[in-house]
Amino acid sequence: LLIEAKELAKLGMVVVVPEIGFTPRGDPQADSTIVINAVIAQRRALDLLTRRDDTDPSRFAVVGFGWGGALAQIVAGVDSRPVAVVTVGCGGRWSRRAYRLAKPKDAVPYLDALTRFDGARYLAAGGRRVVLAQFGRQDERVPVAEADELLAVTTGTKERKDYDTGHDLGACPMAITDRRDYLHRVLRIK
């Protein structure tokens, strides 16, 4: 992400690249706390950007890959500041992905706790944001049904791009170009 962030900075964008990991443990409370703290951290990053003299709060975007895409979806639903959202390699049901990774002993309480963080819920809420969703056609992590559902429930202006690749859309030249062009256009970068 750093190379892509540097390229965006050359176009005049101020870029924050937070590193917020999430390795699901299978404990509903612990995993929920990780998500909540991650969303708080993302919103604090927006707070910091708001205070800078060289940023325009009317042109904020959130971009995320995989787990970061899930965070971007949530942040877009709880914070009105992002006008552009790019979710890469992430369906709208992060709880299912976390479940598959964690393999908790009891699925019901785990999914009950984590479905409240599914991005489909947040992008279904109204807002002034414009959403770009990028998917790899051979991505084994994001089922086609989840990608389809995410776009079906997303309200407002949205675009979907599918690429002949797997999950690693960070290394797909066309996906990188599409993200850059999308942010340039939506954020009105000169």
Interval 177-188: pLDDT, tens: 999 999 999 998
Which residues, at least 6 apart from 75, have a Cβ–Cβ distance to it below 8 Å?
39, 42, 43, 46, 62, 82
pLDDT at 2: 79
pTM, full prediction: 0.93
pLDDT at 178: 97
Model confidence over 133-173: pLDDT tens digits? 999 999 999 999 999 999 999 999 999 999 999 999 989 99
Distances (CA, A) of 43 to 96, 100, 116, 176: 24, 27, 18, 24
pLDDT at 32: 97
Residue 81: pLDDT band with limits 50, 70, 90: very high
Which residues, at least 6 apart from 86, have a Cβ–Cβ distance to it below 8 Å?
61, 62, 63, 64, 72, 131, 132, 133, 134, 179, 182, 183
Residue 127, pLDDT above cutoff 90: no
As a whole number of angstroms, the distance between CA 87 and CA 64 comes to 5
Which helix (H) or strand (E) element contains residue 178?
A: helix 173-186
Model confidence over 87-108: pLDDT tens digits? 999 999 999 999 999 999 999 9
Residue 70: pLDDT band with limits 50, 70, 90: very high
64 - beta bridge partners?
87
pLDDT at 10: 87
Q: Is the dihedral of CA 32, 38, 41, 47 positive or negative?
A: negative
In the predicted model, what is the mean pLDDT of residues 21-47?
95
